[in-house]
Structure 1
Amino acid sequence: MRTSAPVPLGLLLVLGALGLVVAGPEVFAIGIGSAPALQTWSTVFVAIVLQALPYLALGVVVGAVVTVLVPDRALRAVVPANPTAAVPVAAVAGAALPGCECGSVPLAARLVDRGVRPSAALAFMLSSPAVNPVVLVATAVAFPGQPRMVLARAVSSLVVATVVGWLWSRLGRPLPVRRRSHHHDGGVLGVVTHDLLHAGGFLVVGAACAATLDVAVPPTWVGAVAGVPVLSVVVLGLLAVVLAVCSEADAFVVASLTAFSDTAKLAFLVVGPAIDVKLAAMQAGTFGTPVAARLGPLTFVVAIATTLAVGTAIL
């Protein structure tokens, strides 16, 4: 007896969000009367999804083309043999090759399999989803008239990728690949479908959480956290870890948190593409739990420290 395949949760979330976007916030007016909180929630949710979805789709398509059509040897050809120089070069190469977080981990595993130094593969993995052209354009749109935010994001993420790569090299830690990824076995269309449903689901969750924070958390609480510079940076960094919003859409989510400083928002943009719950799970499955247990906290600490330094200098 044949049983139908379960519908992916990401597909249900994306379809639900698209339905709400098409219907508009007014759909909540039916049955809720004059409930202003729900109307505000729906307005914020629709605005975030509507702004972010085109850039998410563009990033997924471009990343899929790069993942499938650009051979791994293209990166190996430009990475120097010198281990110290290889890390920043790999970080810059990652910025030039757009891809989402979903593809960065298996791509790093393939690079290690094919002889790229682990520290350089890590630098590429951390920079690729954080500072590629699609992400920077999306950040500029989410923060209009604030080019310093775009610059701060690019500089911070490149510094994080480079420092983590160098530290990993100094620690002498390997990157044992536990299993091969078949992320691009379905060709460009297969990668687009996988990444759009996966990342789209996290976008919906992130937008919903941001809208909920906007209407449910008392302004005095938000103000108390946002008013403490270091605490607000750590809190938004932890929020980025939990929400796991795709890098093509995260700027639109954090831009809605108007009570927080630009430096705190920068923490969300820097931490999220480097380490979040889905990346930690993927790293554990690909490189092993011991590697993920060391890499996650290391990346988070470096990202927070870098955000504070760059935010102070640029923002």
Structure 2
Amino acid sequence: MNQEQLNNAFTLFLSLLVEAMPFLLLGVLFSGLLLLFVNEGQLAAKMPKNPLLGAIAGSLIGFLFPVCECGNVPVARRLLLQGVPTPVAVGFLLAAPTINPIVIWATWTAFRDQPEIVVLRVVFSLAIAIIIGWVFSAGADLSAIMQPEIANNWQKPPVETEEFISPLLQSGTYLLAGAEQPIRMDATVMQAQLAATALSKPLAYKLRLLLDNTVQELRELGAVLVIGSAIAAIVQVAVPREAILALGNSPITSILAMMLLALVVSICSTVDSFFALSFASVFTSGSLLAFLVFGPMIDLKSLGLMLSIFKPRAVFYLFALAAQLTFFFTLLVNLYIV
């Protein structure tokens, strides 16, 4: 990679980071609001227990949270930490970047002359989010696919055995509440303990905790966002865009090309419709929809952020299911609708 390519990659990296960081901040703020101002027990109790209804409810919740594919991850993570059913959180995670007023308005502005693009983007995004959320409810032990700090909220109490390992010999930081009662004080447990008492505290106390939680999550998720943006920028420079566009000569390869382009460019869902509009004269309507539906769900930035919730195996399942369903729906558009 020569000096010019490095300069271009650095410029793309900064543009991706500047574009995504405000929405990540917005998502983290919503996450903190859920932690400190929402009764987690009441929230979990109001969510449908039926997996299909839960996936539908989670997908529609995205309409209330105008965040893109960077900001939705902290909110979905907090929902899981509060004990919300997995289909609800997965449905929100996949649908929120598209099913919100800002993105719908932006899509309508870009494709005013093609209203079917706006309608089908919303319909396909909802359908895919609901299906994947429903699929993720099929596992008997969902904690096996989540990161440890998330899985701790799902695991059943351990079965007592004859073998005993002192908690003080395990990883983590502990405080002694009594002679033989060590208490684990990692970040997740501390947040849970603070949230349990925050609802009854004064507003100033809640705001201070909100600030602390925002800084903590920005430090953790922001580092992942930086790495993901760097990877996306390098790939955009290393892979000639002309090589991707050359594949768009048929109903099938055009969809694959635009899905690959969506994965690579990692553009925010609030502005991706204008990016897709530039290809409207060359690519089919199905391939444009593939870009607009698949990109907000799965791109190089969001894949890194999803690893803060799920283990790599689960992220791969999300990627594979979203890709297959997007390809199927948009191929129907190319063959039978447009």
Q: What TM-score range do you get, normalising by the shorter chain? A: 0.5 to 0.7
Structural mapping, 1:1-315, within 5 Å: 13=11, 66-70=30-34, 73=40, 76=44, 78-172=46-140, 174=142, 175-179=145-149, 185=212, 187=214, 213=241, 222=245, 225-257=247-279, 258-309=281-332, 315=338
RMSD: 4.2
Shift of residue 184, structure 1, vs aligned partner: 7.4
What amino acid is the match of 2:268?
C
Aligned in 2, Cα 1:81/1:106: closer, same or farther, shift over 3 Å?
A: same
Structure 2 CA distance for partners of 1:105 and 1:60, relative to 1, 3 Å = closer
Bigger mean CA offset, 66-75 vs 255-264: 66-75
User: Do the aligned partners of 1:66 and 1:98 also contact (CA within 8 Å) in 2?
Assistant: no
Cα distance between partner residues in 2 of 1:302 and 1:111: 25
Which amino acid letter does the alignment assign opposite residue 240 of structure 1? A
Question: How far has the Cα of 1:94 moved from its partner?
Answer: 1.8
Structure 2 counterpart of 1:41: none
State the SS of the aligned residue for 2:287.
Answer: helix
AA matched with 2:299: D
Whole-angstrom CA distance in 1 between matches of 2:255 and 2:72: 25
Contact kept? 2:245, 2:257, Cα under 8 Å: no
1:58 is displaced (CA, Å) by 8.8
Task: Give the aligned length.
Answer: 263
Structure 1 Cα separation of the partners of residues 119 and 214 of structure 2: 34
Q: CA deviation at 1:86?
A: 1.0
Q: Deviations over 1:111-168 (max 9, x none)?
A: 2222112222111110111221111111112223222111111001001100111112
Judge conservation of contact 1:59–1:135 (CA < 8 Å) in 2: no
What SS does structure 2 have at the residue aligned with 1:287? coil
**Structure 1, gaps ≥5 residues long:** 1-8, 18-48
Deviations 1:241-261 (A, max 9, x none): 122111112112121123111
Q: State which structure, 1 or 2, has the greater radius of gyration over its C-alpha atoms.
A: 2
Cα pair 2:28 2:74 within 8 Å, conserved: no
What percentage of residue pairs aligned between the two structures are identical? 29
What whole-Å deviation, never above 9, does each CA across 1:200-235 have from its counterpart, x for those lacking one? Answer: x69x959x87xx74xx56xxx946x32310111111
Contact 1:98 1:132 survives alignment (8 Å): yes
Amino acid at match of 1:287: F
**TM-score, with length taken from structure 2:** 0.62
Distance 1:186 1:152, change over 3 A: same
C-alpha separation in 1, matches of 2:305 and 2:288: 25
Task: Tell me the secondary structure at the aligned position of residue 307 of structure 2.
Answer: helix
The separation in 2 between residues aligned to 1:176 and 1:158, in whole angstroms, is 23
Segment of structure 1 superposing worse, 75-84 or 131-140: 75-84
What is the distance in 2 between the residues matched to 1:158 and 1:62? 22
**Residue type at the aligned position of 2:319:** G
Question: By percentage of residues, which structure has more helix?
Answer: 1
5+ residue gaps in structure 2? 1-6, 151-186, 189-209
1:307 is displaced (CA, Å) by 2.6
Please give the per-residue CA displacement for 1:5-42, whole angstroms capped at 9, x wherever unaligned.
xxxx9xx748976xxxxxxxxxxxxxxxxxxxxxxxxx
Write the distance in 2 (CA, Å) between the matches of 1:89 and 1:179.
25
**2:325 corresponds to which letter in structure 1?**
V
